[in-house]
């Protein structure tokens, strides 16, 4: 880092350098804090102006890690800061808050190693993060700050859990409703009393609930009623095969498992049955999918969410199971297919190794079946980890010894089990159509099973399974129909013959919400002696997290949640927990699982609106003003949350909306992802990487490894300790100041693009601030203005005001800053009035420097409360403009013309231009194209 000259050097000249920048920045940060400049009142509070429209600009709040801010954090934060300051100047009441996503594994893992309570390390990290964010000059309303670990915050997280627990999804109204309304309908007899037919926790348990009428409510005992009601709750407890991560000591949601490994830490994940809290998010699959249409979100994020939800339309079809005698047994094997039109080509069936039919098959096995081989296969397949499945997709499987009847052909076909069929999707069974499905083709080849094509491939088709369009063949009454017609016809036939019905399936699974960790929100749930769960009453919230003596998980194949160690805390009574219908002294046990980190981040954007409210999660009045129809107007954060946080938060929001707590149907109106900040790295010829301090630049663009002198190539890579290319924001601020840092990150390139950090480039932005300083301030430190306005400067200022405003609106900060450069390069001296407007343009970008100049100009602080300057449309263009003249699309000359010249004048001027006359010698002009105000193109040969 080159040493910057200090303003305290021999000369007393006051120049903009790191020392002055720091002095100015600390001065104004202190001023803002002391004068509550960034505090935004709520409706009804003093100073609130209800006539102004609102703008809610939200950052993804950080997880406060021990290592402090990364340079990636201030990228998005600076963007929202500029927008927030600009919108405020444009007359909006701007809500721009910040807080802490503070529950989570790293603090707990640190606690296991060191014995320091996670709360201690987390609060230290929060202090450090807060210090850093304040040092950047971000205009957060710090009076709204909170952390997800605060008891008066997670009290309401628990309250929301109870709201969802006490709700059910009504498919007729396509919305969540209070569970009391369901019970009332049962009591009144207006709704059939039966288990929830969509309760996935009962599917596959061999007890398909649909249609099973339980009889009148009044005739049912307490246990049956509870079982029925619980099957509808949007939060439910179920024994499920979950993603168990032994290394993290907890179960994980599907969304947290990537390629069979944990999203955090990348540890192997195994499948294990556990009794866990689940959210019935699948009930909202269609709402979550359709809601995306109206949102101003990046299309890639919408695509990711909709692919995660994975809606597919098809049919469920029953294949009657045949007894060894060949006669139907009365039971059917139900499959889901998106291609009912291909059923005539279904030459065999496959069920997942976990499918109940596998156990049944052993009972009915014909003597010739090798039971041992079947058992071995099922055992092997069931224990295969997801990682192993990823690595080896060879088609293997065994015959179950059973046959079913293909209802379309009327012929028996064999049933296999194979691990390429997943128990977790559809019914865990498929009809295999090798002619139209490559996986089935591969399996059929491996097992020597017949293949029948039911769609005519084109003549030149050389592949195996054919999945394209074409007329149906070998399919009796479907022959000749295209796929769409054939599907519709087949579904009608199946329906008429009671073999099947249309069905929509989703890849989305219910959301596993229990974690066996310590550092998370406790559930507001207790259990009685019989293991029934009961919600604690609202007035006993929060259920506070007890201290623990040690945090190490106990090694066990039957994992116990860590909170079970807090024995005194676990033991409570019905009276203490507020559970009705029991003797107050009746002992109850608290739920010892905790909520995942997502719980706190699911609704933090709501709490900012009314963070100190002790009576409600947020007040109705604040909700209606700050959220209204659009909720968050702009949400900026990383793309890594495309299907985790952003899906979960939408789900909670929809529940709260349906239950009447929120007006807006969706939480985040506009979403924007800032790009990753990468770093340069150097690569040898063999593609190995060299740490940056081992490389030097010999000449422009040519780099060598210092030790060997071997050339290396510059590439971009993620910042990492091993490459020694991690940048600490504190260091950059110390060297240049926060205003320079802010400008640099915004000038690097488009906000959404991934782009490399290049320390060498920062100086350019620092020089810009020095130029601005010199433009306005003398070496004695006084503001210098001129009384004679320069017309070119005036015009350029109008263009700057116009372009900067427009570019901020479309989040194109790099071009807005380029416009500031152009203005400063052109302006020699400003009048007081020009300086006034120019400083206001600077204010969102470099708030500290703008405040200082504003004060030196003799204006009363703060410039942040000033309106954005106006511009004059007529000053945006010159009277005379340069018009390019092309011949055959190639530039041959340019001419100056009055800006409103008509086509004829332009054509004439072009054809009379000396260069053009010369160029056209010996050629015939065929046509002249004139674009008014843009160019002239002459077609000639």
Partner RNA sequence: GCCGGAGUGGCGGAAUUGGUAGACGCGGCGGAUUCAAAAUCCGCUGUCCGAAAGGGCUUGGGGGUUCGAGUCCCCCCUCCGGCACCA
Torsions phi, psi of 576, nearest 5?
A: -65, -40
Rule CB under 7 A: choose which of 424, 502, 628, 665 binds RNA.
Answer: 424
Q: Which one of 238-246, 430-438, 782-790, 851-859 is the stretch in contact with RNA (CB under 7 A)?
A: 430-438
What is the DSSP annotation of 873-938?
Answer: GGGSS-SEEEEEEEETTEEEEEEEEETT--HHHHHHHHHH-HHHHHHHTT--EEEEEEETTTEEEE
Closest separation in Å from C-beta 16 to RNA? 10
Identify residues 620-639 at the interface with RNA (CB under 7 A): 639
Task: Determine if 894 is a binding residue for RNA (CB under 7 A).
Answer: yes
821 binds RNA (CB under 7 A): yes
Long-range contacts of 29-36 (CB under 8 A, 24+ apart): 29/134, 29/135, 29/137, 29/848, 31/851, 31/861, 31/862, 32/139, 32/862, 33/134, 33/142, 35/861, 35/862, 36/143
Asked if 314 interacts with RNA (CB under 7 A), we say yes
Spatial separation of the C-alpha atoms in residues 11 and 23, rounded to whole Å: 18
DSSP letters of 840-853?
HHHTTTSHHHHHHH
Distance CA 745, CA 846 (A): 12
Size of the site for RNA (CB under 7 A): 95
CB of 75 to RNA, least distance (A): 13
Residue from 52, 131, 810, 923 in contact with RNA (CB under 7 A)? 810
Of residues 702-721, those binding RNA (CB under 7 A): 714, 716
Q: Out of 226, 382, 439, 684, which residue is the one contacting RNA (CB under 7 A)?
A: 439
Site string for RNA, 503-542 (x = CB under 7 A): --x-x-----------------------------------
Q: Which stretch binds RNA (CB under 7 A): 102-110, 224-232, 811-819, 858-866?
A: 811-819
One DSSP character per residue, 197-234 reads TT-TTTTTTT---TT-----GGGS-HHHHHHHHHTTBS
The nearest distance, CB 439 to RNA, in angstroms, is 4
Which stretch, 82-90, 134-142, 863-871, 889-897, contacts RNA (CB under 7 A)? 889-897
Q: Beta-strand (E) ranges in 736-813?
A: 755-757
> Which residue shows structure tokens 């348990």?
205
Report the first-to-last Cα separation within the chain, whole angstroms.
59
Q: Which stretch binds RNA (CB under 7 A): 192-200, 573-581, 784-792, 882-890?
A: 882-890
> Which structure tokens are listed for 832?
């007081």
385-388: Cβ within 8 A, 24+ apart: 385/260, 385/268, 385/269, 385/270, 385/271, 386/257, 386/259, 386/260, 386/269, 386/271, 387/259, 387/260, 387/261, 387/268, 388/260
Residue whose CB is less far from RNA, 738 or 824: 824
- Does residue 295 belong to the site contacting RNA (CB under 7 A)? no
Q: Which is nearer to RNA, 505 or 866 (CB)?
A: 505
Q: Which residues in 540-562 are b (16+ Cβ under 10 Å) and which e?
A: bbbbebeebeebebeeeeebebb
**Both tokens assigned to 619:** 């007040």
Nearer to RNA, 473 or 939 (CB): 939
Q: Least distance from C-beta 819 to RNA, angstroms?
A: 8
Give the one residue of 390, 571, 720, 903 binding RNA; rule: CB under 7 A: 390
From 148-156, 286-294, 306-314, 366-374, span contacting RNA (CB under 7 A): 306-314
Among residues 124 and 714, whose Cβ is nearest to RNA? Answer: 714
Contact assessment for residue 329 and residue 323, using Cβ atoms and an 8 Å cutoff? yes
Distances (CA, A) of 449 to 321, 444, 452: 19, 5, 10
Sites for RNA among residues 728-767 (CB under 7 A): 747-750, 753-756, 758, 760-761, 763-765, 767
Question: Which whole-number Å values give the CA distances from 918 to 894, 922, 924, in the listed order?
Answer: 14, 9, 13
**Considering only residues 437, 633, 658, 851, which one is a binding residue for RNA as defined by CB under 7 A?**
437
CB of 335 to RNA, least distance (A): 7
Q: Closest distance between RNA and the C-beta of residue 539, in Å?
A: 41
Find the binder of RNA among 181, 210, 259, 900 (CB under 7 A).
Answer: 259
Q: Of the two residues 167 and 743, which places its CB atom closer to RNA in the complex?
A: 743
- Closest separation between CB of residue 366 and RNA, Å? 26
Q: Smallest distance from the beta carbon of 719 to RNA, in angstroms?
A: 13
Q: Does 659 bind RNA (CB under 7 A)?
A: no
**Residue 172 CB, nearest distance to RNA (Å)?**
26
State which of positions 32-51 bind RNA (CB under 7 A): none
Structural contact between residues 64 and 129, judged by C-beta atoms closer than 8 angstroms: yes
Record the tokens describing residue 452, joined without a space. 């029948």
* 890 near RNA, judged by CB under 7 A: yes
Cα–Cα dist 72/93, whole Å: 28
Q: Which of 73, 517, 803, 837 binds RNA (CB under 7 A)?
A: 803
Measured from the CB atom, the residue of 304 and 663 that comes closer to RNA is 304
Cβ closest to RNA, residue 544 vs residue 894? 894
How many residues are recorded in the chain? Answer: 941
Please tell me whether residue 685 binds RNA under the rule CB under 7 A. Answer: no
Q: Which residues contact 122 (CB under 8 A, 6 or more apart)?
A: 64, 100, 102, 107, 147, 149
Q: Which of these, 238, 87, 41, lies nearest to 867 by C-alpha position?
A: 87
**Of all residues in the chain, what percent are helix, strand and coil, respectively (each to 5)?**
40, 20, 40
Strand blocks (E) in 101-247: 167-170, 175-178, 235-245
Of the residues 30, 33, 127, 392, which one makes contact with RNA according to CB under 7 A? 392
Please identify which residue in 62, 345, 426, 578 interacts with RNA, judged by CB under 7 A.
426
Is residue 393 near RNA by the rule CB under 7 A? yes
Question: Residue 857, Cβ neighbours under 10 Å: how many?
Answer: 18
Residue 310 interacts with RNA (CB under 7 A)? yes
**Residues between 153 and 182 that touch RNA (CB under 7 A):** none
Binds RNA (CB under 7 A): choice among 72, 428, 434, 805: 428
User: Among 545, 548, 527, which residue's Cα sits nearest to residue 536?
Assistant: 527
Mark 767-796 with x for binding to RNA (rule: CB under 7 A) and - for no binding.
xx-xx-------------------------
Which string of DSSP letters, residue by residue, matches 337-352? ES-GGGGGG--EEEE-
Q: Which is nearer to RNA, 189 or 933 (CB)?
A: 933
C-alpha 874/C-alpha 800 separation (Å) is 14
Q: Pick the closest to residue 888 from 939, 923, 930 (CA basis).
A: 939
Contact window for RNA (CB under 7 A) among 238-246, 558-566, 659-667, 799-807 = 799-807
Cα distance between residue 259 and residue 475, in whole Å: 39
How far is the CA of 879 from the CAs of 63, 803, 823, 901, in angstroms?
A: 55, 19, 19, 10
Compute the least distance from the CB of residue 141 to RNA, in Å: 31
The nearest distance, CB 336 to RNA, in angstroms, is 5
Does residue 592 belong to the site contacting RNA (CB under 7 A)?
no
Give the residue, chosen from 245, 349, 543, 643, that forms a contact with RNA under the rule CB under 7 A: 643
Residue 300 touching RNA (CB under 7 A): yes
According to the binding rule CB under 7 A, does residue 610 interact with RNA?
A: no
Q: How far is the CB of 725 from RNA (least distance, A)?
A: 14
- Closest C-alpha among 747, 762, 746, 743 to residue 850: 743
Q: Report 404-423 residues binding RNA (CB under 7 A).
A: 419-422
Judged by CB under 7 A, the residue of 112, 784, 886, 908 near RNA is: 886
Site for RNA in 325-354 (CB under 7 A): 335-339, 352
Binding to RNA (CB under 7 A): which residues in 922-941?
Answer: 927, 929, 931, 934-935, 937, 939
Cβ distance to RNA smaller for residue 360 or 826? 826
């Amino acid at each position: 880092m080159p040493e910057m000259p200090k303003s305290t050097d021999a000369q007393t000249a006051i120049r903009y350098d790191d020392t002055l920048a720091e002095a100015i920045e600390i001065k104004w940060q202190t001023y803002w804090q002391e004068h509550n400049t960034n505090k935004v009142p709520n409706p009804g509070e003093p100073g609130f102006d209800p006539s102004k429209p609102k703008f809610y600009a939200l950052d993804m709040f950080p997880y406060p890690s021990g290592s402090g801010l990364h340079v990636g954090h201030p990228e998005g934060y600076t963007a929202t800061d500029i927008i927030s300051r600009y919108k405020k100047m444009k007359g909006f009441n701007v809500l721009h808050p910040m807080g802490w996503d503070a529950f989570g594994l790293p603090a707990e893992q640190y606690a296991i190693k060191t014995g320091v309570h996670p709360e201690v390390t987390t609060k230290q990290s929060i202090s450090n993060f807060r210090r850093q964010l304040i040092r950047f000059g971000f205009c957060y309303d710090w009076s709204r700050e909170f952390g997800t670990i605060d008891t008066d915050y997670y009290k309401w997280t628990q309250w929301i859990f109870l709201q969802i627990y006490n709700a059910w999804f009504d498919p007729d109204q396509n919305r969540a409703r209070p569970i009391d309304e369901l019970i009332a309908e049962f009591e009144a007899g207006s709704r059939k009393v039966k288990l929830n037919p969509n309760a996935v926790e009962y599917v596959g348990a061999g007890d398909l609930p649909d249609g099973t009428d339980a009889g009148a409510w009044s005739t049912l005992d307490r246990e049956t009623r509870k079982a029925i009601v619980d099957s509808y709750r949007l939060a439910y407890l179920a024994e499920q095969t979950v993603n168990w991560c032994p290394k993290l000591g907890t179960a994980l949601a599907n969304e947290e498992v990537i390629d069979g490994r944990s999203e955090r830490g990348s540890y192997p994940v195994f499948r294990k049955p556990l009794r866990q809290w689940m959210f019935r998010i699948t009930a909202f699959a269609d709402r979550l999918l359709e809601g995306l249409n109206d949102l101003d979100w990046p299309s890639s994020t919408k695509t990711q969410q909709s692919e995660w939800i994975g809606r597919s339309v098809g049919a469920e079809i029953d294949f009657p199971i045949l007894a060894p005698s060949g006669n139907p047994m009365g039971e059917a094997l139900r499959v889901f297919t998106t291609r009912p039109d291909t059923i005539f080509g279904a030459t065999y069936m496959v069920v997942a190794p976990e499918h109940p039919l596998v156990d049944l098959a052993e009972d009915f096995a014909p003597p010739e079946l090798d039971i041992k081989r079947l058992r071995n296969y099922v055992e092997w397949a069931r224990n295969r980890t997801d990682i192993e499945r990823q690595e080896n997709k060879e088609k293997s499987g065994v015959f179950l010894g059973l046959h079913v009847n293909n209802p379309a052909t009327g012929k028996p076909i064999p049933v296999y089990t194979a691990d390429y069929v997943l128990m977790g999707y559809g019914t865990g069974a498929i009809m295999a159509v090798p002619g139209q499905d490559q996986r089935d083709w591969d399996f059929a080849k491996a097992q020597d099973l017949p293949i029948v094509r039911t769609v005519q491939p084109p003549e030149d088709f050389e592949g195996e399974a054919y999945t394209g369009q074409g007329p149906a063949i070998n399919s009796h009454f479907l022959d000749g129909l295209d796929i769409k017609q054939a599907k519709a016809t087949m579904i009608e036939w199946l329906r008429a013959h009671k073999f099947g019905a249309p069905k929509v399936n989703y890849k989305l699974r219910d959301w596993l919400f229990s974690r066996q960790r310590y550092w998370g929100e406790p559930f507001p749930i207790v259990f009685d002696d019989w293991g029934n769960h009961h919600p604690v009453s609202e007035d006993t919230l929060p259920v506070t997290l007890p201290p623990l003596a040690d945090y190490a998980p106990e090694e066990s194949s039957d994992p116990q949640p860590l909170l079970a160690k807090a024995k005194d805390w676990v033991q409570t009574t019905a009276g203490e927990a507020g559970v009705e219908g029991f003797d107050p002294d009746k002992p109850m046990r608290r739920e010892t699982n905790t909520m995942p980190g997502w719980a706190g981040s699911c609704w933090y954007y709501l709490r900012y609106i009314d963070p100190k409210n002790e009576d409600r999660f947020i007040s109705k009045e604040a909700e209606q003003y700050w959220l209204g129809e659009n909720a968050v107007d702009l949400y900026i954060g990383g793309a890594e949350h495309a299907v985790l946080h952003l899906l979960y938060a939408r789900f909670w929001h929809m529940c709260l909306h349906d239950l009447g707590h929120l007006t807006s149907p969706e939480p985040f109106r506009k979403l924007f992802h800032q790009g990753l900040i990468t770093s340069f790295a150097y690569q040898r010829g063999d593609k190995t990487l060299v740490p940056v301090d081992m490389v030097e630049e010999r000449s422009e663009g040519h780099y060598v490894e210092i030790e060997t002198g071997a050339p290396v190539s510059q590439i971009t890579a993620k910042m990492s300790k091993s490459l020694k290319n991690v940048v600490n924001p504190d260091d950059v601020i110390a060297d240049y100041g926060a205003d320079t840092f802010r400008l640099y990150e915004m000038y690097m390139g488009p906000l959404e693009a991934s782009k490399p950090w290049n320390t060498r480039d920062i100086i350019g932005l620092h020089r810009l601030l020095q130029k601005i300083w010199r433009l306005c301030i003398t070496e004695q430190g006084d503001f210098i203005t001129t009384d004679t306005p320069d017309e070119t400067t005036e015009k350029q200022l109008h263009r700057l005001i116009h372009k900067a405003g427009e570019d901020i609106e479309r989040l194109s900060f790099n071009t807005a800053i380029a416009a500031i450069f152009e203005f400063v390069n052109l302006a020699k001296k400003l009048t007081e009035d020009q300086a006034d407007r120019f400083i206001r343009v600077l204010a969102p970008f470099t708030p500290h420097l703008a405040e200082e100049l504003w004060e030196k100009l003799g204006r009363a602080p703060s410039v942040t409360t000033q309106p954005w300057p106006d511009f004059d449309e007529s000053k945006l263009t010159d009277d005379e403009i340069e018009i390019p003249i092309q011949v055959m699309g190639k530039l041959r000359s340019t001419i100056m013309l009055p800006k409103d010249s008509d086509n004829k004048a332009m054509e004439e001027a072009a054809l009379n231009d000396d260069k053009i006359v010369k160029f056209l010698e010996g050629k015939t002009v065929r046509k002249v194209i004139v674009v008014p105000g843009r160019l002239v193109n002459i077609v000639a040969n």
